[in-house]
Amino acid sequence: MTMVNTAYSKGKILEQKDFLTLANVSSEKILALLELAKKIKTKLQLGDSYTPLKGKTLGMIFEKASTRTRVSFEVGMLQLGGHALFLSGKELQIGRGETISDTAQVLSEYLDGIMIRTFEHDRVEELAKYASIPVINGLTDMDHPCQAMADLLTIQEVKGNLQGLKIAYVGDGNNVAHSLMLAAAKTGMHFSLACPKGYEPKAHVVQLAKEEANKQNGTLIITNDPIEAVYEADVIYSDVWTSMGQEAENSIRLESFKSYQINSALVKHAKKDYIFMHCLPAHREEEVTAEIIDGPNSVVFHQAGNRLHAQKALLVDLMV
């Protein structure tokens, strides 16, 4: 049984060497990656062997803690026939002053690809600049593109399509919001984001998303009113109010976001068959009540599972 066509199997979807942000990935390529992810997922479910990365090694640099990113990339490489190597930022020489450029060039001598989960986005860009092998952004303070790909895959599987659906994000205008906004805009979804004043997403990301939404007949709304955001929504999405590195702001954020909780009163304004999504980890009874995240409309674990499949598509496309 042939798994993927020649264009996919030779890594011909993405034109660039790296996957750092969705800002430079076209809508056509996003949809092609989703199709590849579904084919690879089906292959696994059928119990068929598919090991295009046999003999390949992915180095995984973690400067931020992780559950889903680490496990999904490591398992993904294993199932694709390759090997994943965990590299703690605290234990690498990069944590003791070695330059990113030196690290990138050294790792390029040993590995076939690098995934990095870190803080400043320019660290990922510099790593990709000096590495001769593909670099995947596993998360930065600016972007979380791997999460957004898994989100799209989940919505597509549950709702049957993407074009024309409304997705409402309620919470901080953070890295998850940035990538999700771009993903929605590039696939013709209507995107609304509700956040308190002062917690809006970056202006340049909003501008780019608006331009992409216009091309794909979608819309984009940024508001301070969570009811406006979730009105007639097909998808409601939330994230923690205090991300890693923001712990000192926790008490202030809890006060600022207290009226942005996803609860039974708020979701009444969405469509009856809405789905609830969260990138996890979740703080139950803060950004979302247990009733909602553990309820019948929640797809958060389906969504988490799709990190594996969406990232497999990236690994195959970039590393074959």
Task: Give me the active site residues, please.
Answer: 117, 144, 147, 239, 279, 307
HSE (side-chain half, CA atoms, 13 Å) at 287 = 24
Q: Do residues 137 and 158 lie in contact, with contact meaning Cβ atoms separated by under 8 Å? A: no
Buried b (16+ CB within 10 A) or exposed e, 54-79: eebbbbbbbbbebebbbebbbebbeb
Cβ atoms within 10 Å, residue 198: 8
Rounded to an integer, what distance in angstroms lies between the CA atom of residue 263 and that of residue 287?
9
Q: Which two tokens stand for residue 290?
A: 């247990």
Q: Do residues 122 and 17 lie in contact, with contact meaning Cβ atoms separated by under 8 Å? A: no
